Amino acid sequence: MSSVGPNVEGDVPPDRILKSHEAEVAAHHLARRRAVPVIAGRAIDADDCRELLHMLGLADVAGLPTIEIPPRR
């Protein structure tokens, strides 16, 4: 029977770390995708929705083009 915890030296097996990281990344992407319709439902209009998605960093998930913000002077 294989152990799921640290080995004798106290190290966590690399494949377990990789699987854990992949699961965390997948959960993060799912949460971002689920947030888009919630934000869209709360927006006043399309412009408000677009602005909110850009401010929250979710424009790429919604398929919106990125906006280049000019540097401050």
Structural domain harbouring 19: 14-62
Evaluate whether residue 8 is within a structural domain: no
9: confidence class by pLDDT, cuts 50, 70, 90: low
Total residues found in the chain within this entry: 73
Evaluate whether residue 70 is within a structural domain: no
Contact yes or no for 62/36 (Cβ under 8 A): yes
Please tell me the pTM assigned to this model: 0.62
Into how many domains does the chain fold? Answer: 1
Averaged over 27-35, what is the pLDDT?
92
54 vs 72: which has the higher pLDDT? 54
Gap between the Cα atoms of 27 and 12, Å rounded? 22
pLDDT at res. 21: 85
10: confidence class by pLDDT, cuts 50, 70, 90: low
